[in-house]
Amino acid sequence: MFFNKKEIENNEDDIVLDNTKEQTPTSHAELYNRELDLLYDVTLAIISTDGKEVCDVITRLLGEFTKSKVCSLWFFENGQVLKKVRKGFYSIENELLQKLSTADFELMEKLVEAREPLLIGRNHSTNDPTINKLFYALGMPIIVHGEIMGVLNLWKYKEENVDFFSDKQLSTLSKAINNIACGIANNLFNRQHQDRIKKELQIAQRIQVNLMPKKLPRFSGITIGVRADSANEVGGDYLDLIETSNKNLGIVIGDVMGKGIPASLHMVMTRTVFRTTARNDISPDLVLKEINNVLYPDLSPQGIFVTLFYGLYHPTSKLLLYANAAHNPPIVLHAATGEFTLLKAKGVFIGGKEDPEYTLQSIQLASGDIVVFYSDGLKEAMNKKKEQYGIDRIKDNIKKYSFYDAASISDCLFINQSKFTEHCEQADDITIAVLKVE
Amino acid sequence: MLDIESKIENNIGTIALIGELDIASVELFKSKFESFRTQIKSLVIDFSKLNFLDSTGVGSLIQVIRKLKEANMEVNVINISEEVYEVLDLLGIPELLGNEIFEF
């Protein structure tokens, strides 16, 4: 832009258009400087002020600049002339607000019709003879991309001026106001746009939260606990618990590359394929293979991958069958020995290659055993010293809280991890699921 | 934060990644690669000063290696730290793309 603060500061003495000096011809350069001044101040206001306040600042700046008694700024919400709102209202004398309120509305209505600047007291008048006798007014439509977005009105007492504005000043003012108007309108439009995106994100968040297991399936002989938290409104972590047709527990945990909206879309795709595949007690290695084969054509060209672990637990025999598509191996704490086992199994991530083979593994669980499924957001969470939380701290916590039920263990893991990272911003989605054999 | 040191000598390109290759910096890495692509016959990616790699970073690495392999160009990732190799290994990437590409 062409704002030059130094130049503006040098001209502080004659910032405002002084109508008492109307007869003294003002040089073009001076007018130009004043215009720059005004643009600078208003731009500053738009950048640094928020919401409704910005309109009040602008009406005050323009009111002072033109030495007007009243200045008002109208906007049409959502670009609809039906929804007219007076966003800013500046007045040098309080009682003028009330006195001019109706006439100001009337002028605004006239501008919507005319779509060009109107001068009350010169070629136009209001319905109120008293107002016409006492005031001059300049009304300007704010037109952006051919649409009238609002109007700006300036009011002055008649007796103070020989004339309202000279043509020269009028054109300068008109140019300045138009620039400002575009700025304000764009600013408001951006805000509306942002609000819309925010709202859509909130809805997406609600949808995704509802996709998480809300009511945990109940199985005799085990307790289950889950905790999940996205770094953004929506995330790419996936956790699902299903009861299969043969009354087994299917537990799947996954992590989509990246985070936020793109990751969440792939998470939902993965969920859909998983749910349709896993329902009928199909072996975990074949479930992963099927998910890969359905998603591979979509994921591979974009270089996106999903890690996925799927376990199928048989409550009567306490046998856990599992296969792993490159997800962090879940951690098992054996109650009898106090030893840990990692549920590793060979297999490439989802989206890695066409028709891959996954290894089917199994582990016999016993009373008191705990299985912790987690996403790398838990392991890789960092504190201020850039230390990762790490698998050893997870193991220590599992041991420490091993006498509690699954829900308490998942809560403790989550809380202790947040304590570790203190006030560091959560960088990645964190998901934890705990299964404990009673 | 990611810094990149790069050079081309005798049609061999070297890209040294310094710092963190993650969701915030993958575009930098990818665009560096794209600017090199037509000028090189083989590429060496130096991980000696890489101290963090997230899943998006891994994704970009896979994409770059795949593109080079499709064009029959040689590619090597060298000086991989134990922590970073662990991440790659867990994902089965050496196995997927070729063990010979990855060097400690």
pLDDT at A232: 82
The pair of three-digit structure tokens given for residue A229, joined into one six-digit string: 């938290």
CA distance linking residue B29 with residue B15, whole number of Å: 9
CB within 8 Å: A257 and B92? no
Determine how many CB atoms are found less than 10 A away from the CB of residue A178: 17
Rounded to 10°, the helix A28-48/A51-65 angle is 160
Whether residue A239 contacts residue A213, with contact meaning beta carbons closer than 8 Å, is answered with yes
Whether residue A139 contacts residue A151, with contact meaning beta carbons closer than 8 Å, is answered with yes
- Over chain A (438 residues), the average pLDDT of each successive run of 10 is 38 39 58 72 68 77 84 74 74 82 89 88 84 87 80 83 63 68 70 86 88 86 91 88 94 90 90 93 96 94 91 96 95 97 92 93 97 91 86 95 94 90 80 95
Q: Which helix (H) or strand (E) holds A238?
A: strand A237-243
pLDDT at A172: 64
Q: Hey, what long-range contacts does A14-17 have (CB within 8 A, 24 or more apart)?
A: A15/A65, A16/A64, A16/A65, A16/A66, A16/A67, A17/A65, A17/A66, A17/A67, A17/A165, A17/A169, A17/A173
CA distance linking residue A143 with residue A149, whole number of Å: 6
Whether residue A320 contacts residue A250, with contact meaning beta carbons closer than 8 Å, is answered with no
A352 in reach of chain B (CB within 8 A): yes
Beta strands B42-46 and B12-21, pairing class: parallel
State how far residue B7 is from chain A, nearest Cα, in angstroms.
Answer: 26
B95 contacts on A by Cβ (under 8 Å): 348
State how far residue A275 is from chain B, nearest Cα, in angstroms.
Answer: 23
pLDDT at A49: 64
**How do residues B8-56 score in pLDDT, each as one tens digit?**
999 999 999 999 998 889 999 999 999 988 899 999 999 999 988 888 8
Interface residues of chain B, partner chain A, Cβ below 8 Å = 23, 54-56, 58-60, 62-63, 66, 90-92, 95-96
Determine phi and psi for A362, rounding to 5 degrees.
-150, 155
Task: Assign A302 to helix, strand or coil.
Answer: helix
pLDDT at A21: 42
Buried b (16+ CB within 10 A) or exposed e, A256-286: bbbbbebbbebbbbbbebbeebbeeebebbe
CA distance linking residue B13 with residue B52, whole number of Å: 22
**B56 vs A258, A326, A329: nearest CB:** A258
A428 in reach of chain B (CB within 8 A): yes
DSSP structural state of residue A353: S
Q: Which amino acid is at A224?
A: I
CA distance linking residue A72 with residue A35, whole number of Å: 19
- pTM of the full predicted structure? 0.67
CA distance linking residue A344 with residue A346, whole number of Å: 7
B27 contacts on A by Cβ (under 8 Å): none
pLDDT at A10: 39
Cα→Cα distances A395→A33, A389, A432, Å: 69, 11, 13
Count Cβ–Cβ pairs < 8 Å, chain A vs chain B: 42
**How do residues B47-71 score in pLDDT, each as one tens digit?**
999 988 888 899 999 999 999 998 9
pLDDT at A361: 97
Whether residue A338 contacts residue A389, with contact meaning beta carbons closer than 8 Å, is answered with no
The pair of three-digit structure tokens given for residue A321, joined into one six-digit string: 């069958």
pLDDT at A432: 94
